[in-house]
Structure 1
């Protein structure tokens, strides 16, 4: 695929994100990657911004590798931060390339992006000779990542956390050799991991603090967690991020339960205890990264938004459900309609999803009402039958009435069948009474 043409194929090996000021570097980078028989896509600066937004979203959602070119201008660019977040939740392999030092760039990155990239090794090209020295290693790592993805089972990835509908890699640090100060981050991105292996923290968290207990209060669990990891979290991220970790642990990991059971803890860490004594911490860290990335995508105000929302239904992640719920009140009816369909998938196991969709049946926009009806039908939401029947009988728009009838047929319950039968009999009798 040639970037200049602006054409877009369904899937490319590599997508490059960048700021316009770095286009000359990007062209050189793309040519180098293509010379290794990999397909590359990046947006053309001359293409209409609205078209570019649609192309970017499709390209990122379909690519295997996402290369982010981070410079003094792009590090602060909201669009590029949005694209990084989208690449993360799309499970692309992420490879950052720094055109300035890590110390300078890290100060400019958004909070979510900074956390997301903290564990990934970078390639740096900010001195003469860096490009020729580091590109072979980068391309080799990209190829290894692609081979690993092709060989792995996409339904179950060994060494990954599986939670809330998403797969979290335990360790997604790339294999670049970053020993030289010329090409690596000014601060070690692995420093926290080294600290976690300090003496006294060499076996499982629960066994360190609560061995022999079947349950403990969340307060005790939280205090023990902060004793082991609190200072390290502040050092690696910030005081605010430490608070975020604790809030997510209480709200999402343990579902607001005031008691943490050993069985619940074991379910969180799965079978990773023997492989990693800090697996609970790593699980929470990955969850926080995904949470911030998803919030970035949901909240982003760009042309990526509608296309991205369409893909969110496959995630049952709490942040997704919360974000889609907020979108049901969006000023744009297109957003409300797409969010309704995505919510019926992401929130299919939540009882309150039906209530949220029912509330849309009174929406002023007919497309929103139609989307809500189809979503209720796909959920087989039998307790919404009376509301769906009301739309079938009374909605002024034919397409909405047809959507309601389709939803009732999909529900296929006795209540739905009875309502359909009664309505059909009444319609038949009324037709017979009309003057010919």
Structure 2
């Protein structure tokens, strides 16, 4: 699926393509569709250098009656969108990991799409886990995504059957789990019987509320189920410089208690310095000493955990971390938060090869985590990202209580593409409450494309208020033109 100079692709299909002149890529996504791929059991992502291993794995899967999508046709540009569609449709995602695929932007985007669309991910490699060339080729996002997963090693050239048997068993287990989960959905959606105490219901609601605030860090089923090997490995390599009562069973003190016991609030700079003192070595190891990435993770922590405030609070810390007595849980959640944000940016960036497929299929994985992440992208410094996030929120149709107010606010964005995207998304959502704000854009925006988008949105929303606003404006416009003719 990923690209490379030696890449060959199979099957034909249309590409995502760019937006036409004068139209935002995000806005055009409301009208355009990603190339369709058939539903399959397994989607395989690989670089052309690894085609022999891909062919072997594909053949073995198919001999076991598993359906496989592996993209090997000549026309790279046409098939990028189809790869994205295949990943969303597939039950399981397999990455053939090598230095070439690790450095391939398309492969990385495909991994990110698999992650946010909640696919079980199986990394397959002929290299050792700690192979220096492989580790050097992987950026921190790919490392963070794959390290918790169960890797399958084809390191013995004389014995492919053993790892293939392990891979097939793992894939079948995940497919069975997914099918059982899907089969149980109908029953789970039935109205529950009125059992249990009201106190129990209150506790359940409170628990859900807290978990929603942490939903940003639970996107992928595999990441949730598999032990975080990377952190365990990092701790053994770095040494337990923070050994304290925090790690004694039954006395699990949190990061906050170790550094700020007796304080309900501390300044962000103080919190940041304590975080770097305790976890700086782990961060360095995680991001290969990239200081810009470390700064980005710290800014993300301040924004997501403490709402960007200069004063941090123990309440916000615990809401994000949770109260489970687990070693270094706060650091693990920050790592997961960074991964989710990184993946969302990768999938929805303007150069993403899977962006259109992601937008097209958002309804299939519009979890609370994805919605929250899209809402956060509305604050991204990149106007293109903000525009795509706005149009994506319109496509999901979910989380409207949160997304509509944010989209209305986006109508005043400094960038015209963002304003255009917000107009179209609000129209797509048929938001009656947005009508006065959209009318304001239609009558007052100095960019014609935004005015046109606002007009389209009002027509889509319909209703008395929108109809009255359209009629009044059109009458006044005609009278003004008559006076000047």
TM-score over 0.5 (shorter chain): yes
Indicate conservation of the 8 Å contact 1:70/1:97, yes or no: yes
Q: Structure 2: how far apart are the matches of 1:254 and 1:51?
A: 43
Q: Match of 1:19?
A: 47
Q: Match of 1:199?
A: 243
Tell me the alpha carbon deviations over residues 299-351 of structure 1, each in whole angstroms, 9 at most, x when there is no partner. Answer: 3625433333445684221553345962179xxxxxx6x65422556895475
Indicate conservation of the 8 Å contact 1:312/1:320, yes or no: no
Indicate conservation of the 8 Å contact 1:82/1:300, yes or no: no
**Is 1:390 aligned with 2:417?**
no
2:218 equivalent among 143, 167, 175: 167
214 and 324 in structure 1: CA distance in 2 versus 1, 3 angstrom threshold: closer
**Is 1:249 aligned with 2:278?**
no
Q: How does 1:251-270 map to 2 (within 5 A)?
A: 251-270=303-322
Q: Structure 2: how far apart are the matches of 1:376 and 1:80?
A: 33
Q: Structure 1: how far apart are the matches of 2:472 and 2:224?
A: 62
321 and 423 in structure 1: CA distance in 2 versus 1, 3 angstrom threshold: closer
Alignment gaps of 5+ in structure 2: 1-8, 14-35, 189-203
Q: Structure 1: how far apart are the matches of 2:220 and 2:101?
A: 27
1:16 offset after TM fit, Å? 0.4
Q: Could you tell me the TM-score, scaled by structure 2's length?
A: 0.68
1:15 offset after TM fit, Å? 0.5
Q: Which has the higher contact order (CA 8 A, sep 6+)?
A: 2
Q: Match of 2:88?
A: 61
21 and 396 in structure 1: CA distance in 2 versus 1, 3 angstrom threshold: closer
Q: Structure 1: how far apart are the matches of 2:70 and 2:231?
A: 28
**Is 1:320 aligned with 2:377?**
yes
Q: Secondary structure at the match of 1:216?
A: strand
Alignment gaps of 5+ in structure 1: 177-186, 330-335
1:143 offset after TM fit, Å? 2.5
Q: How many residues align?
A: 400
1:362 offset after TM fit, Å? 6.8
**Is 1:357 aligned with 2:411?**
yes
Indicate conservation of the 8 Å contact 1:66/1:95, yes or no: yes
1:93 offset after TM fit, Å? 1.2
Q: How does 1:21-170 map to 2 (within 5 A)?
A: 21-46=49-74, 48-102=75-129, 103=131, 104-150=133-179, 162=212, 163=214, 167-168=218-219
1:111 offset after TM fit, Å? 3.4
Q: How does 1:364-403 map to 2 (within 5 A)?
A: 371=424, 374-375=427-428, 377-378=430-431, 380-387=433-440, 390=443, 403=456
Q: Match of 2:232?
A: 190
1:43 offset after TM fit, Å? 0.7
1:17 offset after TM fit, Å? 0.6
2:275 equivalent among 183, 200, 225: 225
250 and 88 in structure 1: CA distance in 2 versus 1, 3 angstrom threshold: same
Q: Secondary structure at the match of 2:106?
A: helix
376 and 73 in structure 1: CA distance in 2 versus 1, 3 angstrom threshold: closer
380 and 421 in structure 1: CA distance in 2 versus 1, 3 angstrom threshold: same
